[in-house]
Amino acid sequence: MFILGERPRGNADCSGREHVMADQSTPQADLLNRLSRIEGQVRGIARMVEQDKYCIEILTQVSAASRALQSVALGLLDSHLGHCVVDAARTDGAEQDAKLEEASAAIARLVRS
């Protein structure tokens, strides 16, 4: 996962293993921070429901959590294009086509969700 970091140029395998470090400043750590904030947002929404908060306020928080998830998705996609698709583009034929189709399908799911 390399979102937000400088985009390495196709020198990683698609699971990106060698880039993973425990350090806060890595893209993986950043992504985990963002997901943990979203988890907290969803828990906060549940608390609002338990406390019978006003629907519109709850909806505002749901929209905020959705946008945060969308940002995570765009970051993942960005890093995927910069790695797996770039790698695939250097091969030819069937593998390249399969990777491009897979990326297009993921984009379509995202646009439609």
Where along the sequence are the contacts to its own copies (CB under 8 A)?
Answer: 1, 7, 9-10, 14-17, 20, 28, 31-32, 35-36, 38-39, 42-43, 45-46, 49-50, 52-56, 58-60, 62-63, 65-67, 69-70, 72-74, 76-86, 89-90, 92-93, 96-97, 100, 102-104, 106-113
CB of 9 to its own copies, least distance (A): 7
Least distance in angstroms from the C-beta of 40 to its own copies: 9
Q: How far is the CB of 23 from its own copies (least distance, A)?
A: 14
Q: How far is the CB of 87 from its own copies (least distance, A)?
A: 8
Cα 14 to chain centroid, rounded: 15
Closer to its own copies by CB, 15 or 24: give it.
15
Provide φ and ψ at 96, rounded to 5°: -60, -45
Q: How many CB atoms lie within 10 A of CB 50?
A: 8
Q: Give backbone dihedrals phi and psi of 108, rounded to 5 degrees, phi first.
A: -60, -40
**Measured between alpha carbons, how far is residue 99 from residues 3, 18, 36, 42, 48 in Å?**
19, 21, 30, 33, 42
